[in-house]
Amino acid sequence: MAEFTMELNDDQKQVRDWIHGFAADVIRPAAAEWDEREETPWPVIQEAAKVGIYSLDFYAQQYFDPTGLGVPVAMEELFWGDAGIALSIVGTGLAAIGVLANGTEEQIGTWIPQMYGTPDDVKVAAFCSSEPDAGSDVGSMRTRAVYDRAKDEWVLNGTKTWATNGGIANVHIVVAVVDPELGTKGHASFIVPPNTPGLAQGQKFKKHGIRASHTAEVVLEDVRIPGSCLLGGKEKLDERLARAREKAKAGGGERVKNAAMATFEASRPAVGAMAVGTARAAYEVALDYARTRTQFGRPIIDNQGVAFQLADMRTQIDAARLLVWRASWMAVAGKPFTSAEGSMSKLFASEVAKKVTAQAVQILGGNGFTREYPVERMHRDAAIYTIFEGTSEIQRLVIARTLSGMPIR
């Protein structure tokens, strides 16, 4: 187990600088165009694949960094470039985490490479959990998966929403109900292979921010997939359901995490790192502007009203990064989140991103309100961090229930 440190080693610094260079040279120059187009930036994803950033090997190296800092460092730099394009590059990772967290070795080796494709033929993947009537309340999920024993197939029916890469993905990971009487304990995750009949894209959403990232509904109508596409396998699922049924009969409450919650818990510090990247980008623009913009014969940073805002912005960004790094290190070190440290990092960093980007707009004044400067886009993008993968209200609920000892449903 690596000791916790706030000093990156030479390899981590090299990776950080490499990603920062890609973000500065490739992502940032394309950011405004793809935000306006509201389309998946396939050319940028392909460039990321060519240099090795969009690949299974790259994410595996960061994921298995013994210090836990590989993923948050990478996320911060990519999202410093642009949140919408970066999410298009890393969106596949949520589906990959779903397979890594719940799948067998064979499933991991078979399906994760198909999520990324090759540099000459890039693919993306989608993780489909939320539904029109079941966002934060995963217990209200209606998508059903029924096992056809005669054919060893699962049949999926339902509608998913807010799916990053939904409908355009090569591989979809779908969370569905297999036993409605068990509530969230009766959920399981399934792999829907490429070109499976019955899966279709529904509405594509036109969003306030992260507009270069594709977000859509996924409609499943009698989607038949092989039994081998149940993440973790049938035997493991049957054992888990049997334990849950026994607990229910005994009137006990077992704190069993369902597949969707396991995926979100693993990814929350990474989302915090994304928020830190966006906040840092807006802060740097505001700092540079305050140094060069003159009013009443002097740079506006000489005014305490501006200088104190920048001081607070930098302090909050650094504090958010430390919470993210702590949670990331704890996760890889196998230390339990006894105070919901993962949710803490996501909550604080998300709120900081919204506040810092708003302050950046204010410091730039009228210029900050125009699309001639990037802080306007950054402010729109930052709004998503307090919403997706668990709203700020849900994070506070998780933290409060963890502190009180109440079960997290």
Residues designated catalytic:
389
Residue 240: which of 69, 248, 149, 365 has the closest Cα? 248
Number of C-alpha atoms within 13 angstroms, CB side, residue 72? Answer: 30
Contact present, 274 and 83 (Cβ < 8 Å) = yes
For 168, the token pair is: 């355009």
Q: Which residues, in sequence order, are bridge partners of residue 177?
A: 144, 187
Contact present, 112 and 54 (Cβ < 8 Å) = no
Q: Give the C-alpha separation, 24 to 137, whole Å.
A: 39
**Would you call 204 helix, strand, or coil by DSSP?**
strand
For 179, the token pair is: 């036993």
Q: Give the C-alpha separation, 80 to 276, whole Å.
A: 8
Q: Give the C-alpha separation, 31 to 79, whole Å.
A: 11
Q: Which residues, in sequence order, are bridge partners of residue 192?
A: 172
Q: Give the C-alpha separation, 45 to 42, whole Å.
A: 5
What residues contact residue 199 under an 8 Å CB cut-off, 6+ apart? Answer: 167, 172, 192, 218, 219, 220, 223
Contact present, 125 and 134 (Cβ < 8 Å) = no
Q: Give the C-alpha separation, 48 to 34, whole Å.
A: 16
Q: Give the C-alpha separation, 203 to 226, whole Å.
A: 27
